[in-house]
Copies of this chain bind each other. A is one copy, B any other.
Amino acid sequence: MKLVFEKTREGRGSVLLPPLDVPETELKACFKREKELHLEALPETDISRHYTELADRVYGVNNGFYPLGSCTMKYNPKVNDEVAGFSGFTDIHPLQPDYTVQGALKVLSEAEEYLGEITGMEHFTFQPAAGAHGEFTGLKLIKAYHEKQGDIKRNKIIVPDSAHGTNPASAAMAGFEVINIPSNEKGLVDVAALKRAVGEDTAGFMLTNPNTLGLFDENILEITRVVHEAGGLNYYDGANLNAIMGIARPGDMGFDVMHLNLHKTFSTPHGGGGPGSGPVGCKEILAPFLPLPRVKKDGGNYILSDEGEDSIGRVRGFYGNFLVVVRALTYILTLGGDGLKLTSQNAVLNANYLMEGLKDTYPVPFAGPCMHEFVISLEELKKETGVSALDMAKALLDYGVHPPTMYFPLIVHEAFMLEPTETESKENLDRVIAIYKELYEEARKNPEDIKNSPKKTVIGRPDEVMAARNPVIRYEFPSA
C-alpha cells in the first residue's frame, strides 16, 4: 500500500486551531527554518482510511492466538484502558504541586505496595520505561551499592547463556563487564560453573526465572547463596513472573533487586513495541540508591521526595510511564491476591496442556512439567525435510495464528518457544494443537510448500538482507 506521503497533495487538511486572538509575533529571520517542511496534511477521510488500512495489516492479541514466548501476550482488559483515559489521569501536568495530584501519587504508592507484596521486594521505582530500562536501573543500584561500600573492584556481572539479550547489554551499558556461564544438561544454571565464576570482582548475578526454557531453577537458593557469599548481589529478571504470582517470590529466593514488565505480567497493552513499564524493586539495602524523586507519605498526604544523596539519580524524565502503572494497578485491584495466583496457575496449566498436546509431534528437549512456557525443537524435522523453524513459523501465518518466539533460547536448535498465557480457553488451545499437527504432516508431505509460505499474507517473505545491506529507512520526497 501507499505511504501516507503518497496520498495527499499541498493545501489539504482540516481546520483544527483557532485564528490568532492576540497580536502576531514575528520570529527573527536568523532563527527561521529555511528548508521547507514536506509534511502535507491529509483530509480526515483519507487519514481515517490510511490508518484503517494499516490496522488491517497488524495482528494483535485481539486478532487471535499470540504465544510469543517470554513476551506474555495475554489479553489486555478494556477496563484498564478506560480507567487510564479518565481526565483526572490524562490531563494533569507532571510538574503540578503534590497537593494537587494526590490521586496520581496514590496510584504510584499503592502500586509500589502491591508489587512489593507480590515480589517480596521492599521498595519500587516506576521511572524505568521498559524491561531493559529496568535492568539498567537495577544494575546501577548494584554498582552504587558496591561503590558505597568502597568495594570498587566489583565490576563483573555474571549472566547465564540462556538469558535475554537485554541482560548482558544492560550490564554493559551500566559499565560492567559481562561473564557468560553455560547452562547444565537440564537447561538450568550450572552451579559448579557459577561457583568457578564468582569472586572478588563479582558485582552481581542476573537470572531469568523461570528461565527461557520455562523451567524453574531447582537450585535457586544455592545459586543466590553462592553469589551472596562471594559478595555479589542477585538480580532477578522478572519477565517471566507470570508463572509464579502468589506461588513464590523472588524476594524470598535471595534476590536483592529485580524488574517487572507491567506490559507482560500485568496485562497492559504492548502497543506494537511500547510503551512498556519496567518498575524496579529492591530490598532495603538498595533503597538509598533508587532514582529520585520517590513517593512518600507525609502524615495523611503523599509527597514526592527528592531526598537521598546516594541516589543513582534520574533514569528518565518525571516518574515513568504513569498511565501504564494506572492500568497495572487497575488489573491488580481487579484480580486481588487470589486472582493473581489463579492467573499464574492457569498460565502454567495452559502451558502444560499445550506442551502435552504437542510433545508427541514436536520433541521437547527439556522435559518435565513446565512453568508458563516451554520450548520445542524442530531440529529433527529440519534434518528430515529441510523445513526450518523459520519456515514453520511462516506457514503458521497462513493459519491465522501468531508464531512463537523462534531460535531462542540459543541452547536449543530450531527452537520454538511457546507461551499461551492464562487468557486462552481450552478450545483455543485444542485448535492450535490441531493446527500444529496438521502443519507437521504438511511439512513431511510437502516440504517445498512450507518453504514457500506464507501465501495468504499481504506480503510474501521480505528480503531482510537487502534491507540491511542497503538501508532505506526514510521516504525521499520528490524534489519540488
User: Could you say which of B44, B49, B75 contacts A44, with CB atoms under 8 Å apart?
Assistant: B75
Q: Mark A59-76, 1 if CB is under 8 A from B, else 0.
A: 001111000000000010
A425 sits at the interface (CB 8 A): yes
Q: A59 CA to B9 CA in the complex, in Å?
A: 26
Cβ 8 A contact of A77, one of B44, B425, B427: B44
- Asked if A463 lies at the interface with its beta carbon under 8 angstroms from chain B, I say no
Contact B424 A44 (CB under 8 A): no
Interface presence of A46 (CB below 8 A): yes
12 A-B contacts, Cβ less than 8 Å apart?
A7-B427, A12-B425, A43-B425, A44-B78, A45-B425, A46-B425, A48-B62, A48-B75, A48-B78, A49-B64, A52-B62, A52-B63
The verdict on A423 contacting chain B, using a C-beta distance below 8 Å, is yes
List chain A positions with a Cβ less than 8 A from chain B: 7, 9, 12, 15, 43-46, 48-49, 52, 56, 61-64, 75, 77-78, 334, 423-425, 427-428
Known contacts being A52-B63, A62-B52, A63-B52, is A45 close to B78, with CB within 8 Å?
no
Collect the chain B residues with CB atoms within 8 Å of residue A427's CB: 7, 9
Indicate which residue in B43, B62, B424 contacts A423 across the interface (CB closer than 8 Å): B43
Q: For A12, what are the chain B residues with a Cβ–Cβ distance below 8 Å?
A: 425
Contacts of A52 in B (CB 8 A): 62-63
How many copies the complex holds: the figure is 2
Q: How far apart sit A424 and B49, CA to CA, in the bound complex (Å)? A: 11
Q: How far is the CA of A424 from the CA of B43 in the complex (A)?
A: 9
Do A62 and B49 have beta carbons less than 8 Å apart? yes
Q: Which residues in B have their C-beta under 8 angstroms from that of A75?
A: 43-45, 48
CB-based closest 7 A-B pairs: A45-B75, A48-B62, A45-B423, A52-B62, A49-B62, A44-B75, A52-B63
Closest approach, in angstroms, between the C-beta of A41 and any C-beta of chain B?
12
A478 to B21, CA, bound (A): 68
Question: Per a CB cutoff under 8 Å, which of B45, B56, B424, B428 touches A424?
Answer: B45
Which residues of the other chain, B, contact A425 by a CB distance below 8 angstroms?
A: 12, 43, 45-46
Whether A49 contacts B78 by the Cβ 8 Å rule is no
Nearest CB of B to A337, in Å? 15
New A-B contacts (13) at CB < 8 Å, excluding given A46-B425, A48-B62, A49-B63: A7-B427, A9-B427, A43-B423, A43-B425, A44-B75, A44-B77, A44-B78, A45-B61, A45-B75, A45-B423, A45-B425, A48-B61, A56-B56
In this complex, what residue of B is CB-closest to A15?
Answer: B334
User: How far is A427 from B7 in the complex, measured between Cα atoms in Å?
Assistant: 8
Provide the bound-state CA to CA distance between A15 and B45, in Å: 39
A63–B56 Cα distance when bound, in Å, is: 10
Cα A63 to Cα B61 in complex, Å, equals 22
Task: Give, as a whole number of angstroms, the nearest-CB distance from A214 to chain B.
Answer: 21
Complex interface: chain B residues within 8 A of A46 (CB): 425, 428
